[in-house]
Amino acid sequence: MAIEVRIPTILRTHTGGEKTVQGSGDSLSALIDDLDARHSGIKGRLISDDGSLHRFVNVYVNDEDVRFTGSLETPLKDGDSVTVLPAVAGGSVARKR
Amino acid sequence: MLRIARELVDEIRAHARRDHPDEACGVIAGPIGSDRPVRFIPMLNAARSPTFYEFESTDLLKLYRDMDERDEEPVVIYHSHTATEAFPSRTDINLAAEPGAHYVLVSTREHGNDADPTEFRSYRIVDTEVTEEPVEIT
């Protein structure tokens, strides 16, 4: 089962510079585990210590933000396209991440 | 060093002034590898806050799709501070995710909506290391 995953610049250190990688899994969570097996460390950049998707990482499945489709439990199927984009965010007052 | 056209500097200042007291934010895209800011793209601050900014998630995806199609990258990522100096905050530093970009900050603390902000500064933020750089306005 092949799912195309678009990797943002800042995470390409984990993919040998590749912009797009292939992965598999029947949910976003399974896909991230699969990616981490071949691109070590990538899981830690997407998932925070409490096991949820990082607040400031946006993941889209076929252009739909996964926050609205079940987050890490979002189902995936062959041919789906996943895009990872770090938030562009900041501000003058510290916020808890 | 950031080399940037006068018109683009004025666009950023005008956007910051207009959105005060909220933080304004946006991107100037340019051809990949050129280090040349060309296309001004003001973004909506989804947080609509005087102390925080975040590109709206759907807008963010569209922005990166558009840049991809045009072989562009974010050369400048700008935002305003509304009550503090134009220097990256701890939050700005922790969340900076484009090591190739010039992070431009302006501050509207002096003039608010009355006049364009005068403070206009540029930084590199790589692995939480901040380096201020000179700005050459062309």
- Give the pair of three-digit tokens for residue B68: 């991809």
CA angle B93, B95, B101 (to 5 degrees): 75
Domain containing B107 equals 2-137
Of A83, A85, A93, the CB nearest to B91: A93
- pLDDT per residue as tens digits for the range A3-55: 999 999 999 999 999 999 999 999 999 999 999 999 999 999 999 999 999 99
Q: Report the candidate in B129, B68, B71 with the shortest Cα–Cα distance to residue B96.
A: B129
A3-86: CATH architecture = Roll (3.10)
- Give the pair of three-digit tokens for residue B32: 């990949």
Please give the Cα distance from B128 to B14 (Å, whole number): 29
Domain range summary for chain A, segments of one domain joined by +:
3-86
Q: Which residues of B touch A63 (CB under 8 A)?
A: 61
Q: Are strands A3-6 and A81-86 parallel, antiparallel or unpaired?
A: parallel
Q: Which residues of B touch A89 (CB under 8 A)?
A: 47, 52-55, 91, 95
CB distance B99 to B129 below 8 Å: no
- Give the pair of three-digit tokens for residue B92: 């700005």
Please give the Cα distance from A62 to B65 (Å, whole number): 12
- Assign A92 a pLDDT band (cuts: 50, 70, 90): confident
Q: Which residues of A fall below an 8 Å CB-CB distance to B?
A: 8-10, 56, 58, 60, 63, 65, 67, 83, 85-95, 97
| Mean pLDDT, rounded, of chain B | 97
User: In CATH, what number is assigned to the domain containing residue B69?
Assistant: 3.40.140.10
β-pair partners for B125: B130
Distances (CA, A) of B91 to A88, B70, B96, B97, B117: 11, 30, 8, 12, 22
Of B53, B82, B95, the CB nearest to A56: B95
Q: For residues B125 and A93, which has the higher predicted lDDT (pLDDT)?
A: B125
- CB B83 to CB A91 under 8 A? no
- CB A88 to CB B25 under 8 A? yes
ipTM over 0.90: yes
Q: Report the candidate in A97, A5, A17 with the shortest Cα–Cα distance to residue A57.
A: A97
Low-confidence winner among A88-92, B22-26, B33-37, B58-62 (lowest mean pLDDT): A88-92
Shortest distance between the Cα of A26 and any Cα of chain B, in A, equals 23
Please give the Cα distance from B120 to B86 (Å, whole number): 7
| H or E segment and range at residue B103 | strand B102-107
- pLDDT of A95 reads 47
- CB B92 to CB A85 under 8 A? no
CB distance B13 to B106 below 8 Å: yes
Shortest distance between the Cα of A78 and any Cα of chain B, in A, equals 22
Tell me the mean pLDDT in the region A71-93. 95
Q: Report the candidate in B49, B30, B60, B82 with the shortest Cα–Cα distance to residue A6.
A: B60
Tell me the mean pLDDT in the region B16-44. 97
- What is the interface size between A and B, counted as CB pairs within 8 Å? 88
- pLDDT per residue as tens digits for the range B74-86: 999 999 999 999 9
- Please count the structural domains in chain B: 1
CA angle A23, B57, A21 (to 5 degrees): 15
- pLDDT of A91 reads 86
Q: Which residues of A touch B92 (CB under 8 A)?
A: 90-91
Tell me the mean pLDDT in the region B10-24. 97
Please give the Cα distance from B122 to B137 (Å, whole number): 12
Q: Which residues of A touch B52 (CB under 8 A)?
A: 89-93, 95
